[in-house]
Structure 1
Amino acid sequence: MNNNQIRPSLSPEDSAAMLAQLQEKNPQMFARLQAMRPDLTETAYEQLLTSIAASNVGSNGQGKGHGHGHGHSHTHSSTCAHANSQMHFSQPVPEQPEKPDPANMNIVQAVQYNEIERVKQLIESGQSDVNTPDNEGCYLMHWASINNHVELVRYLIAKGAKVDVVGGDLKSTPLHWACRQGCVETFFILVDNGAAIDLPDVNGVQPIHIAAQYGQIKILAYLLGSGVDVDSHDGRGFTPLIYSCIGPSPSYVPLPNSSHVCCTQFLLTFGADINYQEPIRRFTPLHFSINSTNSISFHTLLKNPQINIHLKNSDNLDPSFFARIRQNSDAARVLDERILSSKVNITPKFLQRFVTNEYNRRWLTRFYMFFVLTLIGLSANAYEYNYWIRIIFPIVVIFGCTHLFNYFIFDLYTRDNLAFSYVLSSTILMYVTYWIYLQENKFTIINFIYHFSTVYGLYCVYCCKKLNPGFLNQQTMTIDGNNLTKEKSCIAFARDPRWTLDHFCVTCLIRRPLRSKHCPVDGSCIVKFDHHCNWLNACIGGRNYFYFFRVLIFGTIALFLWMYQALSLIYNDSTQFMIKYLFTQIYDPWFIYMLIITSFNTIWVTLMTTFHFINSICLGITINERLTGFRYSYFRDENTGKFTNPFRKQKFKNFLETFGLFRLMSLFRYTRIDWSQVYDINQINVTKMN
């Protein structure tokens, strides 16, 4: 007999009653039950609500839908009742009843179905009053707001309807209801007519909490831009960041045209307290994101440098252990990697300060790559030792060093530096090898071009990494000649329906110019963003792209000259010796080793140079634009909607701009565009670089 066979069978009402009694008499035990087994509380409450909804539908034909089938609980957010740890007890939607004849509709039905003529008839004839609640305690403004019936909202306000009227089970305002469904037009009509933007409901929930939970980014932008506290507390001490990490219920369906996105990053940029612990169970936002399996919020929180992943809740559970209890294996794995990368458990302790320094890690990673490449070549060149020793020794040493560096140095960020470390190390080794094996006694033009290309290419690498690629900030943002603060930018983004998330960065809180994009590695928006180059560990944008292209051009020239000199040497020697004899008896293994590395570098650098040449000169586009499938609106004809490339017409201009020959551009009367001030494709011909 299994456990399920001996458990007593309880009705939904009895289960919910037992949970309510437990919550009243032993809140701590109830909190632990919520954390350990939220499915129990969720099932009981949902079954109870289902039975209540079914009885209501049977008793009166109206049910609880906002618009007779519109599918919204009349309590603007049943999640705001905080029934469980996830607050996701959405009331089940009853089956959509058949729409009644407008002539027979009462005033509530007419508002729900947006029958404006019927509404006018009932109100103007005196049969209904705009400020009289229905049987459920809700007002006409609530029904019109949550269904985004804009004309009805305007009409009701004109007839004297109160914009801050309180109704429903949660004693909420029409603004609460509009926030839940993302009714942006209705929201601003209410605000413009005096609706309070920080009025709480019976549970202390303000519109900012609802907007954060349901991902209404434009409404949230307006609220924060208007001065609402980013860390506003509801009745239980929950902040908007916690609501964002909880997220909406799985059954939530936003309006088709609403901007429903995760708002966690937006709140963090506005200064939300990432390590805040709510007073009941001491959960942090990270605990809530794990509990709700909100992967977007989870990873967003971990990217923030101020997060403390070691804070424990009232049950003495840190996020890593809590993720295991909640059986969130992905979150547990990521947190374990993060803890290992932090190097806080390194012994001996006196090394912690040295190895946790970012500058030291970066250069030690470069030294590791240089050491590995050099060791392989020197081991192959050690003739006096046995063949197997020359193979086994570097393998053992590299294996040991890798484990040592992985424990002390490598983390989630320094591993991204390995590609650049390889480029830098192999370039130095190739240059030294050229001097030893390929440099002729008489300094020829080929030698001069090789040395110049190598040295100037390294200089361009330095410029790519040190120069500003085109970082955007609040000081560079202007509209109609006026500088914008982050608050003004947020309000402009919220108010202007033409601004979408393609035009606004929720991390930098700025209006993005044309062709710009947020770089997640550098954490900033970049003018004419091209890509983040792992080979150079640098962000490539409109103001350093010509240095990047010069790196490719001069790097390709240097590699081809190196290969030309090496192959010429082999060809000349092959007239006297067999090729096999040359590679086994005459040439050092080091030279052969560097020949292999140089051949590999020549192939991938040449392919990359060719790709960028076609992309930037022939097509005149960025890597970002190409890899995103030309999804941006300026690649579509305004009249036909067909694909068009507005940047490929002037190839000679693209050539001069790609190489950074800006003086020649002015000589040929080409205009250099300041992409930080271009917000529309039609501005290209009128915006010049200062």
Structure 2
Amino acid sequence: MEEMKESTSLTQANATFQNPNNNNAKPAAVESVNNQFEGDPVPGKQRQNKTLDYSEFDLAQAAQHGAFERCVQLVDEAQADVCQTDAEGITALHWAAINNRLEIAEFFVLRGADINAQGGLLKGTPINWATRQGHLKMVVLLMRHGADPSIKDTEGYACLHLACQFHHTNIAAYLIAKGEEIDMMDDNGMTPLMWASYKCHGIDPVRLLISCGAALNFQDNVHLNSAIHWALTSNNGSAISQLCNAGCTLDLVNAKKETPLDIAVAKKNNFAIKKIEGKLKKQKPSGNRIIVWMTLNKELGNKVMFIYPIMAFGGIGLCLQYGSSLLWSMLYLILLWIVSAQVLKIFLRNTTLIESPIMASWYTATKSWMYFTWIYLFWPFVTDLPTLLVFVISTTGIMYNFYRVVFSDPGYLVASLEQKKKAIIYLAEHDELTVDTFCSTCLLRKPARSKHCSICNKCVAAMDHHCPWILNCVGAKNHKYFVQFLFFLVVLNFLYAFGARRYYNGACPAYSNNDSGWLYHWIVIAFKCSPWAFWLELNSWFHCCWIGMLFVCQFYQMIILGMTTNERMNSYRYKHFYKNGKIASPFSRGIIGNFIQFFECSCCGLFQIYRIDWSNKYQHNLIPEENDIYWEV
């Protein structure tokens, strides 16, 4: 029985760790019992050590080592009882659970083993032991046969607490989906979120618990710490950031009369100090009441941030056009810059540059003033039929595709709470509940090519990227319109530059009759002719260059490579993008096929087009599956 004693001590070591509510506790490394007993390497199969003789093993030893035939022999020949316990109350089912022996565990349960037996120093149940080790398939098996995950051990921990202590996000998600109370308290008043914030240095399971609606401001019974207090105690930067962003209360006081900011200062955690002070300033800004009101009014801020750049863009042109000299123009521009800086300081305080409409507004300003200038200044010089045709076609293309790309759904994934729970249970029971298949923010099963957008806070089917210039994501339902929009933008910007040169030649004799060098002719004389038109022309060339490069990049990715921007940037992380040791898209149909399918171009019926519903496609290929949805175009 020496081996049994050794394995029992390992189990107890694994069950012991630093309890923040126990002043006498000492830190202990959490060692995996699987270092002593190998877990199940292949789902559905049991690995046995061929060098051991199982014929003399008792039931507990056979369960530990995965000797299924020996277990069957002992039970069927009545040499052992599946409910028998040792001196510490440990059953053979405990050993099968902690070593992930699925076949043996199910055999024991079907033969009448007590599925909720409590044993060991901590009086844990088999499902407690499986949860500590992160054996999701064992947890699923035991719960399918009636195991109660809410039973607490002697330290007061139920399975959800253990899953959050040991960073087993998939088990935590499964338990919550099966109905476990998300704010269940242990004997010291610690909730799963408090444990995750204290123990788990990573995005999950904190993100999962917040997404599931865990209470942010509960305080434990011993130290009166909230989740943010515990995160700061362990310098858990990820948890600190997520809790602050979720809106936790930052002025709660614990038993030592410490606020979260006090703990951050004591820990000399500069990141946390900056984060908390920034949130406190947003929650309780000081200063003039009118400015404070404008700062807190997000709707007003968005309107100002959309309108002001249009005015500022026009203001720059007016300063250049009507300044009596270059010196006065520069003074006007400096004054405009000071005003703009103050406006941004007030209305960008509660948001980021990417989340605000300022970049979309700058695009709108450029195009609005270009159209104004084209009609007001250029029109007499651009009325020839070819120019008018290009102008009308590009304008129509821009307006139509702009509307489709901005105001249409890019492919957001939505599901009811009941559907989300069913998806989690389905993934867990099919051993697919991983970060690659499940979004712990949206609580959704992730289709192939989908990605969570941190700006929109939603998952998007076949997501390419989030574009701040259109205030929307680019995904399965608007990607085609985005690429077409880029193409027509390049044409329009080039057309404006062409129209500006027509205007200079027709309206400015100094420009048309100048024989000086091309640089002086193209820049200095053009600026003297019309600073307003030249300011807009500079913008047109700038936008023509970077939008042109973006269009080429998008075209190359989608047509040549068959990849989205997200896939190209992260292809090294996706196993399904490796083919014969090289990165290649499993979704590519070849250059011609990609072009036909992406732009839905049937060439007057010459090609048959099928559009995959990427919000329901879960296989990483283009082979039609039974559950895939196709539309013939």
TM-score, scaled to structure 1: 0.77
Provide the aligned C-alpha RMSD in A: 3.8
The 8 Å contact of residues 381 and 502 in structure 2, kept in 1 or not, is answered as: no
1:191 aligns with 2:136: no
- Summarize the Cα distance change of 1:598–1:421 in structure 2 as closer, same or farther, 3 Å threshold: same
Please state how far the C-alpha of 1:112 moved relative to its aligned partner.
Answer: 4.0
Please state how far the C-alpha of 1:413 moved relative to its aligned partner.
Answer: 3.0
| Counterpart among 196, 209, 213 of residue 271 in structure 1 | 213
| Counterpart among 459, 465, 475 of residue 525 in structure 1 | 459
Could you say what secondary structure the match of 2:612 adopts?
coil
The 8 Å contact of residues 450 and 459 in structure 2, kept in 1 or not, is answered as: yes
Residue identity opposite 1:502 in structure 2: D
Where does residue 181 of structure 1 map in the other structure?
A: 133
1:578 aligns with 2:578: no
Please state how far the C-alpha of 1:206 moved relative to its aligned partner.
Answer: 0.8
The 8 Å contact of residues 374 and 496 in structure 2, kept in 1 or not, is answered as: yes
The 2-side partners of 1:462 and 1:312 are apart by: 50
1:566 aligns with 2:500: yes
Q: Please show how residues 431-580 of structure 1 align to structure 2 within 5 Å.
A: 431-441=371-381, 443-444=383-384, 445-450=386-391, 452-454=393-395, 456-474=397-415, 485-568=419-502, 573-579=511-517, 580=520
- 1:341-372 Cα deviation digits (max 9, x unpaired): x2631432244444323222122223343344
| Counterpart among 304, 309, 320 of residue 261 in structure 2 | 320
| Counterpart among 101, 118, 121 of residue 166 in structure 1 | 118
Residue identity opposite 1:238 in structure 2: M
Q: Please show how residues 2-401 of structure 1 align to structure 2 within 5 Å.
A: 66=7, 73-74=12-13, 76-79=15-18, 82-83=21-22, 89-90=28-29, 111-114=63-66, 130-134=82-86, 138-157=90-109, 160-248=112-200, 262-304=204-246, 306-340=247-281, 342=282, 344-385=284-325, 387-401=326-340
User: 104-113 vs 397-406, which deviates more?
Assistant: 104-113
The 2-side partners of 1:611 and 1:97 are apart by: 53
Where does residue 585 of structure 2 map in the other structure?
A: 645
Please state how far the C-alpha of 1:134 moved relative to its aligned partner.
Answer: 4.1
The 2-side partners of 1:571 and 1:226 are apart by: 75
Residue identity opposite 2:193 in structure 1: L
User: 236-245 vs 211-220, which deviates more?
Assistant: 211-220
| Counterpart among 341, 349, 365 of residue 402 in structure 1 | 341
Please state how far the C-alpha of 1:177 moved relative to its aligned partner.
Answer: 1.1
The 2-side partners of 1:87 and 1:673 are apart by: 56
The 1-side partners of 2:471 and 2:382 are apart by: 38
1:421 aligns with 2:361: yes
The 1-side partners of 2:113 and 2:466 are apart by: 54
- Summarize the Cα distance change of 1:215–1:376 in structure 2 as closer, same or farther, 3 Å threshold: same
The 2-side partners of 1:625 and 1:406 are apart by: 36
The 8 Å contact of residues 146 and 178 in structure 1, kept in 2 or not, is answered as: yes
Percent identity at matched positions?
A: 25
Please state how far the C-alpha of 1:545 moved relative to its aligned partner.
Answer: 1.7
Please state how far the C-alpha of 1:62 moved relative to its aligned partner.
Answer: 6.3
- 1:485-515 Cα deviation digits (max 9, x unpaired): 2222221121112453322222222222222
The 8 Å contact of residues 364 and 409 in structure 1, kept in 2 or not, is answered as: no
- Summarize the Cα distance change of 1:81–1:173 in structure 2 as closer, same or farther, 3 Å threshold: farther
Please state how far the C-alpha of 1:460 moved relative to its aligned partner.
Answer: 3.0
Please state how far the C-alpha of 1:181 moved relative to its aligned partner.
Answer: 1.0
1:672 aligns with 2:624: no
Gaps of 5+ in 2: 38-48
Could you say what secondary structure the match of 1:199 adopts?
coil
The 1-side partners of 2:388 and 2:76 are apart by: 94
The 1-side partners of 2:98 and 2:317 are apart by: 71
Please state how far the C-alpha of 1:204 moved relative to its aligned partner.
Answer: 2.5
The 1-side partners of 2:58 and 2:333 are apart by: 86
The 8 Å contact of residues 75 and 170 in structure 1, kept in 2 or not, is answered as: no
The 2-side partners of 1:665 and 1:324 are apart by: 69
The 1-side partners of 2:407 and 2:259 are apart by: 39
The 8 Å contact of residues 424 and 433 in structure 2, kept in 1 or not, is answered as: no
TM-score, scaled to structure 2: 0.83
Residue identity opposite 1:331 in structure 2: A
The 1-side partners of 2:93 and 2:196 are apart by: 27
Residue identity opposite 1:677 in structure 2: N
* Number of residue equivalences: 606
Gaps of 5+ in 1: 1-59, 251-259, 478-483
- 1:583-622 Cα deviation digits (max 9, x unpaired): 4454233333323222211110000011111222333332
The 8 Å contact of residues 494 and 540 in structure 2, kept in 1 or not, is answered as: no
- Summarize the Cα distance change of 1:379–1:317 in structure 2 as closer, same or farther, 3 Å threshold: farther
Please state how far the C-alpha of 1:74 moved relative to its aligned partner.
Answer: 4.7
- 1:440-487 Cα deviation digits (max 9, x unpaired): 356223145335524642453343222111112115x9xxxxxx6222
Residue identity opposite 2:284 in structure 1: V
- 1:28-54 Cα deviation digits (max 9, x unpaired): xxxxxxxxxxxxxxxxxxxxxxxxxxx
The 8 Å contact of residues 282 and 313 in structure 1, kept in 2 or not, is answered as: yes
1:687 aligns with 2:629: yes
Residue identity opposite 2:307 in structure 1: F
Please state how far the C-alpha of 1:188 moved relative to its aligned partner.
Answer: 2.5
